[in-house]
Each structure stands twice: as C-alpha cells, then as structure tokens.
Amino acid sequence: MGVQETLLKRANTKTRAKKTAKKTEVAKADLPLGQILSGDCIESMRALPDASIDLVFADPPYNLQLGGDLNRPDGSQVDAVTDDWDQFDSFKIYDDFTRDWLTEAKRILKPDGGLWVIGSYHNIFRVGAILQDLGFWILNDVVWRKSNPMPNFRGTRFTNAHETLIWASQGEKAKYHFNYRAMKTLNDELQMRSDWVLPICGGGERLKERGTKVHPTQKPEALLYRVMLATTEKGDVVLDPFFGTGTTGAVAKRLGREWIGCEREGVYTEAALKRIAKELPLDESALQTMQSKRDAPKVAFGALVENGYIKPGTQIFDKKRRWIAEVRADGSVTHGKQVGSIHGLGKELQGAPSCNGWTFWHYEVDGDVKPIDAARQDYLLAVED
C-alpha cells in the first residue's frame, strides 16, 4: 500500500470515528435521562432507540409463590411481598413477561453493553435460561450473601440468606466493561470474588412512610454501588426497568452516571424522585479509580466507602498531619500525584517497609479526630446487628 493510500485510509477511519461519535451524541441527547417512565416497562423500553444504553440493571418481580401469611414466634406478621406486581397466574405467563422485557433490553443495549439481573431461587433460574435463549452470554453469577438475613421462622428449611445476580454481555464474542482494578482496590487489593457479603437495606437508608416500608424489597445502595463501579464508566447511561424507590438512580447520580427508570407504581415513583433529588454527585477527583497490591484484612476499606461510613472525597491524614490524602470512590486514596491503598500510600509516604493504614490514617467527624479503624468498628457493629 502506497503512502497516499495509507493517508487516505487513515482519513476515512477518522471520518467514520467522528460520524460514530456524532451518532452516539445524538442518541444520548434524545434519551429521557434522569426521568422515570411511567407505566408498563416493556412499552417504555420499546420507545427507546436501538443500541443506546450502556447498562441495564434489573430487579424484576420474583414471582414468590407465597402460600398464606407468615408469622414470627411472637405471633407478629412478617412483612412479605404480597403486592399485585409480584403475582403471576402461571410460570408460562411469567416466562412470557420475562422474555418480552429481556428482548427489549437486548435491543436497546449497546454492542458492548452489560446486563445485570437479580433474583431469588423462585425466578433466577428461569430468567437465566431465557436470557441465554435470547443470545446473552453469562459472564458471572454473583451471590449476594446477606450478613443479616431474615430467619426461617417456621424452621422447615434453611435460612434463605442470599440472592443471585447474573451478569451478562450481549453475546459470546461481545466486548464488555469490567473495571478489574477498581474492584480489587475496593476489596483492599484482593481480587474481588463472586460472593459479596453485604447487609440488607436498613437504618436511615430504608425508605419508610409513617413507620411502614415504602417498598418491600428495597435493595441496599452498596450493592448497586459495586455493580456500577465494576461495569460502567462516568457518563454511562444506566437503565432500570423495575425502578422501585430509585436505588439505581440515587447511586448513579452519586457516581456520575446517567440514569433512566421505568416504574408503574406512583407511590414508588414519588418516593424515588424525592430520594434522588437529595443525592449529591461526587466531585471529579473522588470519582477516579485505581489499583495497587496488598493483602486484605477481614474488612476491606472499600466496604466502608461503598456503605457510606467514610464517603468519597473525605480527607484523611496521619496523626501529626504531615500528609493529607483524599478518599476516592473505589477505596483508593490520593496525595498529590501519589495514589494507593490506605496501606500502600501510607508506606510510600513514610518510606517505611510496611504500614497499617487503619491506625495510620485519621479523619475528622464533628471536630473529633478518629483513626479510620473507628469507622471499621462501627461497620462491624452494624453488620453484627
């Protein structure tokens, strides 16, 4: 190939790249970003352009097939999912519904887009088979192991202490996004496993109206935090077809991602909009992610960050305040141009052979200076409760 032909080929390649970028910008501008689409999720998704979404996170009805009321040993009734939206007359009807929304999800996802679906033993195997039939390629099944599950009050089965997430790409050969280094940093420099130990949604995070849960199956923000940090980038568009009270939207806004929700229940939509309006996005520096290499203690520093015990952007410092560092979204910390884990950066700054970051770094809470290990102890107490 001559020089002229080579230059012409490069010019054509650049032109195609510019056209592709322009199409992407137009498609994104046409999307209902930051909106909750009311009504049936399948119809709402049909109104979206092809190949316009970076990630679909779906928490569909589980079709729980519950038989009668469930009571605690003291006679009080357990809060169960008895809403109409979780009722299906047969497995066939549920399967048809699942196939319809997954078909739309596949159409609107970009070629390198990802799909996450969460479910229980009641539905996740049916969902998994259908998404495989549609051409999705399962990358992982992730077990969310609940650190504080509801007991089995009847004592007739094992305590149901987990839910399963399926992470899938558009096909066997499809590209997909995985922020491996950010996940390793979040886990204090150990490779992130496919079993995630996280508490169920509770405390101030649980939305309530006059003492009653607004939504029976509200997911913890830490779960969505990990999903988005692992498989999206800043500015990506995340769609949640079963938006509920807006956990996906709240975490997306915090992490600088765009979001679209679908929700047919007005009471959930109202609660979600109020919740997301209060959410503040992280600043640019806190959203950056990295990775380094050390062994992890029993509690990863990243667990404190994703659960809100130490927020991204928090300034931490050694006891004598010789060095000040800033916490980032994946649990890494930065001091000027130096970036590392709480242990690695502390070691580097001191020129020491090792560093226990838990006792080296401190932070300030209402004028009170504490080692970051205090936040770890608070987290452990909450998990034990």
Residue 241 and residue 366 in one domain = no
Residue 380 and residue 349 in one domain = yes
Q: According to the per-residue pLDDT averaged within each range, which of 12-21, 329-338, 374-383 is highest?
A: 329-338
Alpha helices in the chain (DSSP H): 3-29, 41-46, 91-108, 124-133, 180-186, 221-231, 247-254, 266-278, 284-287, 301-306, 342-350, 357-360, 373-384
Rounded-to-integer distance, Cα 301 and Cα 307, Å: 10
Confidence band, pLDDT 50/70/90 cuts, at residue 225: very high
Rounded-to-integer distance, Cα 17 and Cα 23, Å: 10
Expressed as residue numbers, the domain containing 197 is 28-66+77-286
Position 313 in a domain: yes
Report the residue count for the chain: 385
Rounded-to-integer distance, Cα 200 and Cα 205, Å: 10
Q: Is the pLDDT of residue 120 over 60?
A: yes
Q: Is the pLDDT of residue 76 over 50?
A: no
Position 147 in a domain: yes
pTM above threshold 0.85 = no
Position 257 in a domain: yes
Total domains in the chain come to 2
Mean pLDDT, rounded, for 42-52: 97
Q: Is the pLDDT of residue 197 over 60?
A: yes
Residue 134 and residue 245 in one domain = yes
Rounded-to-integer distance, Cα 244 and Cα 266, Å: 10
- In angstroms, the Cα distances linking 256 to 29, 166, 198, 234, 306 are 16, 24, 23, 5, 15
Using a 10 angstrom Cβ sphere, with 0-12 exposed, 13-18 middle and 19 or more buried, the burial of residue 190 is middle
Lowest mean pLDDT among 109-123, 188-202, 337-351: 188-202
Of the residues 286, 310, 338, the one at which a domain ends: 286
Q: Which of these, 375, 314, 318, 313, lies nearest to 347 by C-alpha position?
A: 318
Rounded-to-integer distance, Cα 159 and Cα 146, Å: 11
Residue 362 and residue 231 in one domain = no
Strand 338-340 relative to strand 362-365, pairing = unpaired
Residue 264 and residue 170 in one domain = yes
Position 3 in a domain: no
Collapse the DSSP code of 368 into the 3-class scheme (helix H, G, I; strand E, B; otherwise coil) and give the result: strand
Residue 256 and residue 370 in one domain = no
Residue 259 and residue 331 in one domain = no
Residue 212 and residue 246 in one domain = yes
Q: Is the pLDDT of residue 75 over 60?
A: no
Q: Is the pLDDT of residue 9 over 60?
A: no
Rounded-to-integer distance, Cα 309 and Cα 149, Å: 21
Residue 281 and residue 305 in one domain = no
Using a 10 angstrom Cβ sphere, with 0-12 exposed, 13-18 middle and 19 or more buried, the burial of residue 352 is exposed
DSSP 71: B
Of the residues 259, 286, 313, the one at which a domain ends: 286
Residue 320 and residue 189 in one domain = no
Rounded-to-integer distance, Cα 44 and Cα 68, Å: 34
Position 316 in a domain: yes
Confidence band, pLDDT 50/70/90 cuts, at residue 79: low
Q: Is the pLDDT of residue 256 over 70?
A: yes
Position 146 in a domain: yes
Which CATH number goes with the domain that contains 85?
Answer: 3.40.50.150
pLDDT at 382: 80
Counting other chains too, the contacts that 372-381 makes at CB distance below 8 Å and 24 or more residues apart are 372/301, 372/304, 372/310, 372/316, 372/342, 375/304, 375/309, 375/310, 376/299, 376/301, 376/304, 376/309, 378/309, 379/299, 379/303, 379/304, 379/307, 379/309, 380/299
Residue 127 and residue 222 in one domain = yes
Mean pLDDT, rounded, for 354-362: 93
Residue 163 and residue 35 in one domain = yes
The pLDDT tens digits for 139-188 are 999 999 998 887 876 778 898 899 999 999 999 999 999 999 999 989 98
Confidence band, pLDDT 50/70/90 cuts, at residue 212: confident
**Placement of tokens 């079963």 in the chain:** 242
